[in-house]
Amino acid sequence: EIVFLCDEVPAAQAVEWGLVNRAVPEAELDAVVDELVEKLAAKLPQTTRYAKQQLNVWRDFAWHQTVGHARDWLAMSMMGDEAQDAVRAFLNREKA
C-alpha cells in the first residue's frame, strides 16, 4: 500500500511500524544528530567502519547470500584485536 499509493506516513506511524528508529521535532533534529554522532564516534572504529561497508555490500546480495556473508564477517571480525579487547574488557567488567 505504501509503495503503490505513495501516501505520506506520519512520523509517529513510521516509528510504530518500525520504519524509522525515532522521530524528533525539527527544532531538536540538530541536537539529536550531534548526540548520535558522538555515540558513533565513541564506538570501536574498525568495527563501525566494516559494518558500514558491509551494509553497502549486502544491498546488492540476495537474502541467502547476506546471511552467509554476515556469518563469515562476524567470525572474522571477532578474531580482530579490537573485538578481543572489547571481550576482555567485558569479562573483566572494564570499559572498552
Tell me, yes or no, whether 48 and 82 share the same domain.
yes
Tell me, yes or no, whether 4 and 20 share the same domain.
yes
Predicted confidence at residue 68, as pLDDT, reads 83
For residue 80, give the CATH number of its domain.
1.10.12
Q: Which residues contact 15 (CB under 8 A, 6 or more apart)?
A: 21, 22, 23
Q: How many domains does the chain have?
A: 2
Predicted confidence at residue 96, as pLDDT, reads 56
Which pTM was predicted?
A: 0.49
Tell me, yes or no, whether 53 and 30 share the same domain.
no
Q: What is the 3-state secondary structure (H, E, C) of the chain?
A: CHHHHCCCCCHHHHHHHCCCCCCCCHHHHHHHHHHHHHHHHCCCHHHHHHHHHHHHHHCCCCHHHHHHHHHHHHHHHCCCHHHHHHHHHHHCCCCC
Tell me, yes or no, whether 51 and 90 share the same domain.
yes
Domain that holds residue 83: 44-96
pLDDT per position as a tens digit, 48-95: 888 888 888 888 888 788 888 888 888 877 888 888 888 888 889 876
